[in-house]
Amino acid sequence: MIYLDNSATTAPNEEVLKTYLTVSKQFFGNASSLHRLGVESEKVLNRSRALMAELLEVAPSSILFTASGTESNNLAIKGTLLSSFQKGTHLITTASEHASVNETFKWLETNGYHVTYLPVDEYGCLSLKELEQAITKETSLVSISHVNNETGTIQPVEEIGALLAGYPQVRFHVDHVQGAGKVPLSIKKAKVDLLTMSAHKFHGLKGTALLYIRPHLQLTPLLHGGDQEFGYRGGTEHVAGAAAMAKAYKMELGRSKNEKQKLPRLRNRLVEYANESNALVLNSDPEHGAPHIINFSAPGYKPEVIIQELAEQEIYVSTQSACSSKQLEPSRVLLAMGKTEEIASSAIRISLSYETTDQEIDVFISAMDTLLPRIRKVVKERV
């Protein structure tokens, strides 16, 4: 099997699974219970929180565990606006955000908020000048993804943070789900107020994520019913998930440090292949994108056909975000980048991990070289 859909999810690491099972068996007590089993579970939860905080270079009290990146994004955005400290009704994001951000802002527009969707350039990057021009006295939140989930575009988060430092009424939320472990980001240097991560994007388990909340920043919780997670998220804590997430992220950072040239090398091979192919159009930034995501289109081909044909050979890729891939509509992200509907309707996303090998890329390229002419021939014969 050749798995090239790591932006949708990653395969859990064996050591991470071992951690999850061990904690689930030995520390199954409710972390909010007062007896010994509860106290022991709480200690594991606190150690997991402390490890994530150490790796992110923030305070443990800033780490809030959630169930998904979508939940974290919703809490960051809605929790900010529901807070009595935030009165402004103007919000800023980009036209190319993940659905969990885009759909949240669309919903907020139906509830009295005004949203500015910043345009992006041909590679999906925003303009700092346009961002500053969009800020008004009513602006209360800017939400920007660090790495785009479809194209790998890296937004200038540190520069954005420096800009927003001059507007103390504006909170800065960063969706770091696709960048975590692949594209370095300092929360402190970028002056981030709220940051989202999800464990299953770096070989952790689905069902565990986190939201970083800057100290002394107030949010209104979306879930009520208990004082768990510092009062921000009622509900029994997922201790094993938190422990597995911390383990996975520590391992991912280790591989990022020890194998820092691997992903750029594999990405460059795919960029060269797309540029040299007569059938493909490269959509990702050829030089400055994230090292693990490549997006190209095959005009005249149906991407779902390519994906299924590759799957028959146990090669797994995707079209757009897994949250949108079954809609069979043009990519909203690529349309925002100025691509034609044909280009936006025929996109293929290749997303790598540190597990990906040179040989797997060779096999994928060979399969595409065989597959595309065969599909074209079948289409012509039917016509």
Annotated active-site positions, please?
323
List the one residue out of 368, 297, 324 whose CA is nearest residue 103. Answer: 324
Report the amino acid identity of residue 284: S
Phi-psi region of 97 (alpha: psi -120 to 50; beta: other; left: phi over 0): beta
Q: Which helix (H) or strand (E) holds 130?
A: helix 128-134
List the one residue out of 149, 156, 141 whose CA is nearest residue 190. Answer: 156
> How far is C-alpha 93 from the geometric centre of its chain's CA atoms?
15
**Is residue 259 helix, strand or coil?**
coil
CA distance 5 to 13: 16
159 contacts 152 by C-beta, under 8 angstroms: no
296 contacts 280 by C-beta, under 8 angstroms: yes
Q: Give the Cα-Cα-Cα angle 232, 234, 240 (nearest 5 degrees).
A: 100
